[in-house]
Amino acid sequence: MRSATATITTTTTIKRCSWVRVDDPLMLQYHDREWGVPVHDDRRHFEFLVLEGAQAGLSWAIVLKKREGYRRAFQGFDPEKVARFSVRRIEKLVLNAEIIRNRMKIEAAVRNARAFLKIQEEFGSFDSYCWRFVDGRPKLNRWKIMRQIPATSPASDAFSKDLKHRGFSFVGSTVVYAHMQAVGMVNDHLVDCFRYREIRQPAYYFSEPSSSAGLSAGRK
């Protein structure tokens, strides 16, 4: 995998998805190292679920800038710890300027942590549960322009419906499809983007990115 330095210093010669702002280092690094790489780590799945829920109705750039604040506020995205957050802890988070201070979203993250643990108990891991919605392998799309990329899919509809049935909130089909893009359940890089072919390689299917810089997809 190319280094962050190499990625960022060649912005004028590399073809990327058109939603990427090359003058935004966080967004650039997220696109070049994280977005669309298949995730098989439960804590990373939970991180993305928290951040995707936080992004609902907002710009992804805002969430990305607050990612480290979320990491501190949500105990390194450990679902077991978040599931134990008390009402008093939630009140403190509502006052925390390092994250998006939306009470409903914060409370949803705590509820979702509890539902997340129940899925782990039932399926052995959240990863085993969620990848069933794409039959265990990334769905490879072939989009040429941004407007071809959908906001939802039949798989995200089914995934969203099941999550809601299990007690999750802020997991509408649009949010869930963004999550699927982020964790590599679908490859929605444009076909002329250098990452489209890179993350098709088998070496990526069971690997985790070394960077900790970003989140979900078709970001505009």
Q: State how far the Cα of 169 lies from the Cα of 160, in Å rounded to an integer.
A: 9
Q: State how far the Cα of 95 lies from the Cα of 23, in Å rounded to an integer.
A: 31
For residue 199, give both structure tokens: 């993350």
pLDDT at 109: 98
Query: What is the separation of C-alpha 183 from the centre of its chain, rounded to a whole number of angstroms?
Result: 6
Residues catalogued as catalytic: 30, 52, 60
Superfamily of domain covering 25-204: Hypothetical protein; domain 2 (1.10.340.30)
Mean pLDDT in the chain? 88
pLDDT at 42: 97
- For residue 135, give every residue at least 6 positions away whose Cβ sits within 8 Å of its Cβ, in sequence order, or none: none
C-alpha pair distances (Å), 32 with each of 93, 98, 102, 103: 31, 25, 30, 32
Give the SS3 label for residue 96: coil
pLDDT at 8: 42
Query: What is the separation of C-alpha 219 from the centre of its chain, rounded to a whole number of angstroms?
Result: 11
Cα four-point dihedral sign 81, 103, 48, 179: positive
Q: Which residues of the chain have pLDDT under 50?
A: 1-10, 207-220
172-212: per-residue pLDDT in tens?
999 999 999 999 999 999 999 999 989 887 656 554 443 33
pLDDT at 209: 40
Q: Which residues pair with 187 in a beta bridge?
A: 140
> What pTM does this model have?
0.86
pLDDT at 205: 55
